[in-house]
Structure 1
Amino acid sequence: MSLVYSYSYSYYYLKSMLKPLVTIIVFLMVACAQDIYSLSDNTIFDGKKTVRVYNGMNDGILVYLHCRSKDNDLGQHVLAFAEFQKWSFNDNLFGTTLFWCTMNASNVHASFEVYRAKTEEYKCDTQCDRNLKKDGGYFFNQFYGYWEKRLSWHIPKTPSF
């Protein structure tokens, strides 16, 4: 009798655990699918981020900017003074979202991280602005309201004739 009771108890215990297990698996599948479509406007999670990279170099210096992530290539953009490239996305479930850019401006070449979820967690909530200037790259801290210089380079003033 005890063997039947044990089998019956195990069956009902496993059956009662099946629904929560399936729920967790479905949630994880949806979260992974959300990461694949992270650049779309229709996501199921809150917390959308928008990165804007400005050309803050005057004197007619063009910035050739090419940004990407592991899953998304945003293509090369040519930015005149005060123009910007922007894109929106949601951080992935694991907090490993990373975008980086390569920049060419007046014979200066640089490659840099423009957004890393772990770094930006306490610096920008929804709007992550970057400004590329002649002396380096500046990142706006949305929570404290100031520009932080994170990148350094030197682009000389273009001679006027």
Structure 2
Amino acid sequence: MMKALFITIIVLFLIIRVPAVQISQQENGGRKIHVDDILDGTKIVRVTNAMNDGIVVHLHCQSKDTDFHEHVLAVGEHQEWSFKDNLFGTTLYWCTMDANNVHVSFEVYNVDIEENICNVQCNRNLKNDGAYFYHQFESKWEKRLA
């Protein structure tokens, strides 16, 4: 009896939640999210150059174990990677950005923070006045880096 109730709750959650995730992410430039991504814990981080005036961004992102090396992003281009949070709850990625004589390092994904703002697709926009992180559950952009 409990197993049937649990399965019913999961199915209802997927029917209600998954289409909303797909729609909101497509509107915000993310790739289409699949049910498998949600169920297996996959996270996708996308960092987009949203600068004005054609400013090119040199972006070098990494974690303790993975180095994505430097990417040169023209306006509108992005760098994206997928992963699963580690078992210890300490997943952390950071980036170093060089753009228009500005050099800054910042956390681009910290599981302690991101689990409350994105469940699969974690979008970031680099703008002239700072870095913006998309809060999926509130459907808004938050400025985190000035």
Unaligned runs of 5+ in 1: 1-44, 153-161
Residue of structure 1 equivalent to 2:145: 151
- Matched residue type, 1:62: V
**Pairs aligned (count):** 109
Q: 1:82 and 2:76 equivalent?
A: yes
Q: What is the Cα deviation at residue 94 of structure 1?
A: 1.2
Q: Name which of 56, 76, 82 aligns with 1:62.
A: 56
Match of 1:118, SS? helix
Q: Name which of 48, 58, 74 aligns with 2:42.
A: 48
Distance 1:141 1:134 in 2: 20
Which aligned runs of 4 or more in structure 1 are off by greater than 4 angstroms? none
TM-score by length of 2: 0.73
- Matched residue type, 1:50: I
User: Based on CA coordinates, which of the two structures has the bigger radius of gyration?
Assistant: 1
Unaligned runs of 5+ in 2: 1-38
Q: 1:132 and 2:129 equivalent?
A: no
Q: What is the alpha-carbon root mean square deviation over aligned residues?
A: 1.3
Q: Name which of 96, 103, 108 aligns with 2:102.
A: 108
Residue of structure 2 equivalent to 1:16: none
- Matched residue type, 1:102: T
Q: What is the Cα deviation at residue 58 of structure 1?
A: 2.1
Percentage of pairs with the same residue: 65
